[in-house]
Structure 1
Amino acid sequence: MLEPRFSAVAEVFEQIVGKGTDRGAALCVYHRGIPVIDIWAGTADVKTRRPWAADTIAPITGATKGLLTVAVLSLVQDGVLHLDTPVAEYWPDFAADGKQDITVRWVLTHRAGVPALDKPVSSRNLIAGDSPAEALAAQVPAWQPGTAHGYHPSTGAWILDEVARRVTGSGIGKVLSDRIGEDVFIGLDEGEAVRLAPLIFPIMELMRARPKEPEFAEFSKAVFSSKTLLARSLNALSMSKVDQFNDPAFLAVGEPSMSGVASASGLAWLYASLIGEVAGHRLINPDLLDATVREESHGHDQVLLMNTRFGLGFMLPGGPLWPGETRTQFGHGGTSGALAFADPANHLAFAYVPNRISGYIEGADANARRLAVTVYEALA
Structure 2
Amino acid sequence: MRNEIVVKGYTDPKFERIKDIFKENFKEFNEVGASFAVFLDNKFVIDIWGGYSNPEKTNLWKKDSIAKVYSTNKIVTSICALILVDKGLLDLDAPVARYWPEFAQAGKEKLLVRYLFSHSAGLPGFDEKITVEDLKDWDKIINILTKQKPWWEPGTKIGYHATTMYYLLGELVRKISGKTINMFFREEFAIPFNIDYHITLPEKFRTNRADMIPPKVTFSSFVWNDTDRNSFLFKVWSNPDLRNVHDNDPIWFDIETRGFGNARSVAKLGSIIANGGFLDGFQILTPETIAKSIEEQFFATDLVLDRKIRYGLGWGLKSDYHSLPSPNTAYWGGMGGSSLIMDLDNKMSIAYVMNKMRRQPLDET
Give the TM-score normalised by structure 1: 0.85
Cα distance change on mapping 1:242 and 1:16 into 2, 3 Å: farther
Aligned residue for 1:350, secondary structure, equals strand
1:167 to 160, 170, 176: 176
Q: Is the 8 A contact 1:154 1:236 kept in 2?
A: no
**Unaligned ranges ≥5, structure 2:** 1-9
Q: Is the 8 A contact 2:35 2:50 kept in 1?
A: yes
Paired position in structure 2 for 1:344:
344
Q: Which amino acid aligns with 2:214?
A: F
Paired position in structure 2 for 1:290:
291
Deviation, 1:130, is: 5.5
1:254 aligns with 2:253: no
Q: Is the 8 A contact 2:134 2:141 kept in 1?
A: no
Distance 1:246 1:222 in 2: 22
Deviation, 1:305, is: 1.8
Deviating runs (4+, > 4 A) in structure 1?
220-223
Paired position in structure 2 for 1:273:
272
Q: Is the 8 A contact 2:327 2:345 kept in 1?
A: no
Distance 1:305 1:8 in 2: 36
Distance 1:129 1:88 in 2: 18
1:202 aligns with 2:215: yes
Q: Which amino acid aligns with 2:49?
A: W
Paired position in structure 2 for 1:231:
234
Map 1:180-191 to 2 at 5 A: 180-181=189-190, 182-191=195-204
Cα distance change on mapping 1:205 and 1:94 into 2, 3 Å: closer
Deviation, 1:105, is: 0.5
Paired position in structure 2 for 1:41:
50
Cα distance change on mapping 1:233 and 1:323 into 2, 3 Å: farther
Cα distance change on mapping 1:308 and 1:128 into 2, 3 Å: closer
Q: Is the 8 A contact 1:274 1:283 kept in 2?
A: no
Q: Deviations over 1:43-95 (max 9, x none)?
A: 01224721100111100011110110111111212222221121112222222
Q: Which amino acid aligns with 1:271?
A: G
Paired position in structure 1 for 2:111:
102
Q: Is the 8 A contact 1:339 1:352 kept in 2?
A: yes
Q: Aligned-pair RMSD on alpha carbons?
A: 2.4
Cα distance change on mapping 1:129 and 1:229 into 2, 3 Å: closer
Q: Is the 8 A contact 1:59 1:336 kept in 2?
A: no
Aligned residue for 1:15, secondary structure, equals helix
Deviation, 1:157, is: 2.0
Distance 2:252 2:105 in 1: 30
1:242 aligns with 2:272: no
Identity of aligned residues (%): 27
Q: Is the 8 A contact 2:271 2:342 kept in 1?
A: yes
Deviation, 1:359, is: 3.3
Deviation, 1:23, is: 0.3
**Unaligned ranges ≥5, structure 1:** 211-219, 370-380
Map 1:328-367 to 2 at 5 A: 328-362=328-362, 364-365=363-364
Number of aligned residues:
349
Paired position in structure 2 for 1:114:
123
Give the TM-score normalised by structure 2: 0.89
Paired position in structure 1 for 2:206:
193
Q: Which amino acid aligns with 1:66?
A: I
* Range 122-131 or range 301-310, more displaced: 122-131
Q: Deviations over 1:161-186 (max 9, x none)?
A: 12222222222121111111201211
Deviation, 1:103, is: 1.2
Paired position in structure 2 for 1:263:
262
Aligned residue for 1:37, secondary structure, equals strand
Q: Which amino acid aligns with 2:286?
A: N
Deviation, 1:223, is: 6.4
Distance 2:133 2:143 in 1: 16
Distance 1:69 1:318 in 2: 21
Q: Deviations over 1:187-218 (max 9, x none)?
A: 211111111011101224879xx9xxxxxxxx
Q: Is the 8 A contact 2:215 2:359 kept in 1?
A: no
Map 1:83-102 to 2 at 5 A: 83-102=92-111
Distance 1:204 1:78 in 2: 45
Cα distance change on mapping 1:140 and 1:205 into 2, 3 Å: closer
Aligned residue for 1:337, secondary structure, equals coil
Distance 2:129 2:173 in 1: 22
Distance 1:271 1:149 in 2: 24
Q: Which amino acid aligns with 1:121?
A: I
Paired position in structure 2 for 1:144:
153
Distance 1:90 1:346 in 2: 36
